[in-house]
Chain A
Amino acid sequence: MARLSGASVARIEEICDAYQGEKTPLVMILSDIQREFGYVPLEVQEVVSRKTGLSVAEIYGVVTFYSFFSLTPKGKHVIGCCLGTACYVKGAQRIIDRFCNDLGIEPGGTTDDGMFTIDALRCIGACAAAPAVTIDGKVYARVDISQVPGIISAYRQMEGGAE
């Protein structure tokens, strides 16, 4: 990653400052950064380290422990395939396999064009909609494997790209 812009550094410092009254705010700070920037690379961790006085090692330990934090940017569209038990017993594995096959990436991976990331999700609590897939937060219920190519091309078309 390139060096952080001055504005980014200022924003990260601002996030850190917002939690000054808290005893142990690290996870909250990182959550805000993840939500706003989409990932928490080393350069960002260094800024957080300077502001909080925690070592980069400790921050890195926390970032890599929780699945919510990511060291690399995610794709423009995040396809989350629910692999909770209720979805799994209704064939969710085949759905995620098909997404992976069609996009040529593994779960957790991002396509080279930065368009899609596939995440294997734990239960999203939509068990009646099993197998469920969420794309950018929108829930697709009772996904049938034959719908997968159509879903992907719909997002590609939305981006104006040809199939």
Chain B
Amino acid sequence: MYATTEELQRDVQRFMDELHGKFDGSDGKTYLVFCGGTGCMAGGTPDLIAEARKLIADEGLEESVVTRRVGCFGLCSQGPFVRIYPGDILYRLVKAEDMYDIIHKHIIGGEIVERLIYEDPKTGEKFEHMADIPFYRRQKRIALHGCGVIDPTRIEESLAMGGYQGLMRALTMDRQDVIDTIIASGLRGRGGGGFPTGRKWQFAYNQDSAEKYVVCNGDEGDPGAFMDRSLLEDNPLSVLEGMAIAGYAIGASQGYFYIRAEYPIAVQRVNAIIEQAEERGLLGDNILGTGFSFHAHVRLGAGAFVCGEETALLNSIMGLRGMPRPRPPFPAVSGLWGKPTVVNNVETLSCTAYIMREGIEAFTQYGTENSKGTKVFCLGGKVVNVGLVEMPMGYTMRDLIFDIGGGIQDDKEFKALQTGGPSGGCLTPEYLDEPIDFDNMVRLGSMMGSGGAIVMDEDNCMVDVAKFYMGFICDESCGKCSPCRIGTKRMLEILERITSGKGTMKDFDELDTIAEACKTNSLCALGQTAANPILSTIAHFKDEYIAHIEEHRCPARVCKDLIEYHIDPDKCRKCSACARVCPVFAIEGVAGKTPFVIDLEKCIKCGTCVTACRFDAIYKA
């Protein structure tokens, strides 16, 4: 238990020395650091660690060679990773059988295992150090500070990386000064809305109430986005610290994390960090002798996208159906149990901790005039470097997709970048040089959103993408207001007709009418923005809609009802591989004698045969 800030600072110095020892070799040990991100864990990190430990034990090196698991390294498409200290050598695409060489050649022999070094797919250039890889070179970690570096299960390491320094500074300041600092930093909500965080705090501060709350919105529902999950898993203390700073600023002594039930590891890590913070007197009554008391609790979501909307989220915490209600009153006036409540996104809270620790300048030196700082994106889809990216606001789409992202997979043509998830829109190649910030994204017809950034190429059908998002929203509409409940269903039905070749131009015109009604009349942002994926794809890809409607043709050959699979008899080598995998026995032929033919009546268009054919003989038409 730390009774004063001085006591904590003395320990922090010790923690810093310990952590440095793990990187610079000053503690005389060698560290094998493994990425514990979801992608790498699914890709075999646990097996790698087990194998490494076994080999280390076999060589009797347990005293001097240590394995460590930290958070996500970010470059998920090259995982699993092993990073070795001292020396900071990065190995990628590591398999269990590679561990032998890593231990024997590198650790014992002092020789780098060349074949596991990252190689730029375009230039062939090799990079031994993570920071030199083009994917990382232009990134800046503010919200993700400490992620992928520290062991998130140990509060000591987070404290060594500057954890709680921001709160300690805040506690020496007047509460209004803390709010003014956040206002001056220009920080805007990272959940997608972009509302100025400091102003939100000011509203709650102004309320005269003995009881107030801070809520961390960790209900990250945008499909294809996992920024908040990474942050909660990889440095939960930075979010907890931000929450405590918000609590101090507005005069709240209770905070709630609302986390998706689909993120069990995040829940576990947050609970563990709360427990460790309590044990050390960093949470609870009279924190560090300053007179400030703050308690944190965890509440789980139960699978409802609409709970990302703040009033719905509050209802869910209060044990009700997670339905939104009209605002005003805003939560800052009447939130949890009717008390003034600030609801901030995970990334936003982590940024506030950074700003309080490093100062306003350290934050505002990045970004554009009205969008300061950095933004975390989950870059996914048809891009070479799939992963977690934190970059300064104002970088262009080209920077994100081609520089950091390494371009499009298989050298296909870039078609669109989808941001903002089901509430956002698509940006096309003509905008590649536009800067990415809150206002510019809206101006271009999309939105920043929470950070999902899905790259699409020539093989993606934009009408199908619109249908995908509408299906999602239709499923997730809470049903409270009819424009959203009925409007999204009707729009989905129209898109289903169009993608099956049964749509008419009247349907097409009706989409516009319903979209407008849904936008202007829905109760919450879910319904108000539901039509965005449709409107934005119509704006940029109207010809694709027309092709589906008038020519009954899917130009990208995605929509099942509009394509047929055929076998090119000239290319068919009569091997029967396709016929053997067909689940409905729709492919006939005689092995070694006649080319195989697909019976279009029986074919369910699953595409299994295409992946089975080694001679590229099966095509879509």
Interface residues of A (CB under 8 A from B): 23-28, 30-31, 61-62, 65-69, 83-91, 94, 97-98, 101-102, 121-130, 132, 139-141, 144-146, 148-149
**Residue picked from A26, A85, A98, A121, most chain B C-beta under 10 Å:** A85
Q: Which of A25, A28, A65, A86 contacts B381 (CB 8 A)?
A: A86
Stretch at the interface among B110-118, B131-139, B298-306: B298-306
Bound-state CA distance A130–B382 (Å) is 10
Bound-state CA distance A128–B320 (Å) is 35
Contact-residue size bin, chain B (C-beta under 8 Å from the other chain): 35 or more
CB–CB A27/B300 < 8 A: yes
CB–CB A89/B382 < 8 A: yes
A98-B583, A128-B77, A130-B380 known; A85+B300 contact, CB < 8 A: no
List 17 A–B pairs whose Cβ atoms lie within 8 Å, in order of A's numbering: A24-B319, A62-B319, A85-B468, A88-B465, A97-B604, A122-B262, A123-B222, A123-B226, A124-B38, A125-B226, A125-B230, A126-B42, A127-B39, A128-B76, A145-B607, A145-B611, A149-B581
A67-B303, A128-B79 known; A139+B223 contact, CB < 8 A: no
Query: How far is the CB of B497 from the nearest CB of chain A, in Å?
Result: 18
Bound-state CA distance A29–B165 (Å) is 37
Which residues of chain A have C-beta atoms less than 8 A from B583's C-beta?
98, 101-102, 149
A62-B320, A97-B606, A101-B604 known; A86+B380 contact, CB < 8 A: yes
User: What 7 pairs across the A-B complex have the smallest Cβ distances?
Assistant: A128-B76, A125-B226, A85-B224, A86-B380, A66-B302, A67-B303, A26-B319
CB–CB A24/B318 < 8 A: yes
Which residues of chain B have C-beta atoms less than 8 A from A91's C-beta?
607
In B217-256, the 8 Å CB interface with A consists of: 221-226, 229-230
Which residues of chain A have C-beta atoms less than 8 A from B606's C-beta?
94, 97-98, 101, 145
New A-B pairs, 9, CB < 8 Å, besides A85-B418, A123-B221, A127-B386? A65-B322, A66-B301, A66-B303, A83-B223, A97-B606, A125-B225, A144-B611, A145-B606, A146-B612
Confirm or deny: B171 has a beta carbon within 8 angstroms of a beta carbon on chain A.
no
CB–CB A127/B224 < 8 A: yes
CB–CB B319/A98 < 8 A: no
Which chain A residue shows the least CB distance to B385? A128
Confirm or deny: B421 has a beta carbon within 8 angstroms of a beta carbon on chain A.
yes
CB–CB B38/A146 < 8 A: no
Query: How far is the CB of A137 from the nearest CB of chain B, in Å?
Result: 9
Query: How far is the CB of A163 from the nearest CB of chain B, in Å?
Result: 14
Confirm or deny: B425 has a beta carbon within 8 angstroms of a beta carbon on chain A.
no
In B354-374, the 8 Å CB interface with A consists of: none
CB–CB B38/A67 < 8 A: no
Bound-state CA distance A128–B92 (Å) is 14
Query: How far is the CB of B289 from the nearest CB of chain A, in Å?
Result: 27
CB–CB B317/A123 < 8 A: no
CB–CB B224/A123 < 8 A: yes
Interface residues of B (CB under 8 A from A): 38-39, 41-43, 76-77, 79, 221-226, 229-230, 261-263, 299-305, 316-323, 337, 378, 380-382, 386-387, 418, 421, 452, 454, 456, 460, 465, 468-469, 472, 478, 581, 583-584, 604, 606-608, 611-612
Q: Which of A27, A68, A90, A123 contacts B319 (CB 8 A)?
A: A27
Bound-state CA distance A128–B583 (Å) is 28
Bound-state CA distance A139–B80 (Å) is 14
Which residues of chain B have C-beta atoms less than 8 A from A28's C-beta?
299-300, 319
Bound-state CA distance A42–B563 (Å) is 46
CB–CB B380/A122 < 8 A: no
Query: How far is the CB of A39 from the nearest CB of chain B, in Å?
Result: 13
Bound-state CA distance A127–B79 (Å) is 12
CB–CB A24/B607 < 8 A: no
A25-B319, A65-B321, A128-B79 known; A123+B225 contact, CB < 8 A: yes
CB–CB B320/A145 < 8 A: no
Which residues of chain B have C-beta atoms less than 8 A from A88's C-beta?
223, 465, 468
CB–CB A141/B468 < 8 A: no
Bound-state CA distance A12–B39 (Å) is 36
CB–CB B387/A23 < 8 A: no
CB–CB B302/A69 < 8 A: yes
A86-B381, A97-B606, A146-B608 known; A68+B223 contact, CB < 8 A: no
Query: How far is the CB of B5 from the nearest CB of chain A, in Å?
Result: 31
Which chain B residue shows the least CB distance to A85? B224
Which chain A residue shows the least CB distance to B77? A128
Which residues of chain B have C-beta atoms less than 8 A from A144's C-beta?
611
Query: How far is the CB of B217 from the nearest CB of chain A, in Å?
Result: 16
Bound-state CA distance A87–B42 (Å) is 15
Which residues of chain A have C-beta atoms less than 8 A from B472's C-beta?
122
Which chain B residue shows the least CB distance to A67? B303
Bound-state CA distance A23–B223 (Å) is 32
Which residues of chain A have C-beta atoms less than 8 A from B607's C-beta?
91, 94, 145
Which residues of chain B have C-beta atoms less than 8 A from A102's C-beta?
583
A84-B223, A84-B224 known; A128+B39 contact, CB < 8 A: yes
Which residues of chain A have C-beta atoms less than 8 A from B226's C-beta?
123, 125, 127
Which chain B residue shows the least CB distance to A29? B319
Which residues of chain B have C-beta atoms less than 8 A from A98's C-beta?
583, 606, 608
Bound-state CA distance A123–B225 (Å) is 7
Query: How far is the CB of A15 from the nearest CB of chain B, in Å?
Result: 14
Bound-state CA distance A94–B323 (Å) is 32
Query: How far is the CB of A69 from the nearest CB of chain B, in Å?
Result: 6
CB–CB B321/A62 < 8 A: yes
CB–CB B221/A132 < 8 A: no
Which residues of chain B have C-beta atoms less than 8 A from A124's C-beta?
38, 262
CB–CB B261/A127 < 8 A: no
Q: Which of B223, B302, B337 contacts A85 (CB 8 A)?
A: B223
Bound-state CA distance A92–B439 (Å) is 33
A23-B337, A88-B468, A94-B607 known; A127+B380 contact, CB < 8 A: yes
A98-B606, A123-B225, A146-B611 known; A89+B381 contact, CB < 8 A: yes
Query: How far is the CB of A58 from the nearest CB of chain B, in Å?
Result: 8
Bound-state CA distance A98–B610 (Å) is 14
Which chain B residue shows the least CB distance to A83? B223
Bound-state CA distance A140–B44 (Å) is 11
Which residues of chain B have C-beta atoms less than 8 A from A90's C-beta?
381-382
Query: How far is the CB of A17 from the nearest CB of chain B, in Å?
Result: 16
CB–CB A146/B581 < 8 A: yes
Query: How far is the CB of A148 from the nearest CB of chain B, in Å?
Result: 8
Bound-state CA distance A135–B320 (Å) is 30
**Residue picked from B79, B320, B323, most chain A C-beta under 10 Å:** B320
Which residues of chain A have C-beta atoms less than 8 A from B608's C-beta?
98, 145-146, 148
Bound-state CA distance A82–B145 (Å) is 29
Bound-state CA distance A27–B321 (Å) is 9
Which residues of chain A have C-beta atoms less than 8 A from B300's C-beta?
27-28, 31
Which chain B residue shows the least CB distance to A138? B42
Bound-state CA distance A125–B612 (Å) is 28
Which chain A residue shows the least CB distance to B224? A85
Which chain A residue shows the least CB distance to B387? A128
Which chain A residue shows the least CB distance to B577? A146
A90-B381, A146-B611 known; A67+B42 contact, CB < 8 A: no
Query: How far is the CB of A77 from the nearest CB of chain B, in Å?
Result: 18
**Residue picked from B225, B316, B608, most chain A C-beta under 10 Å:** B608
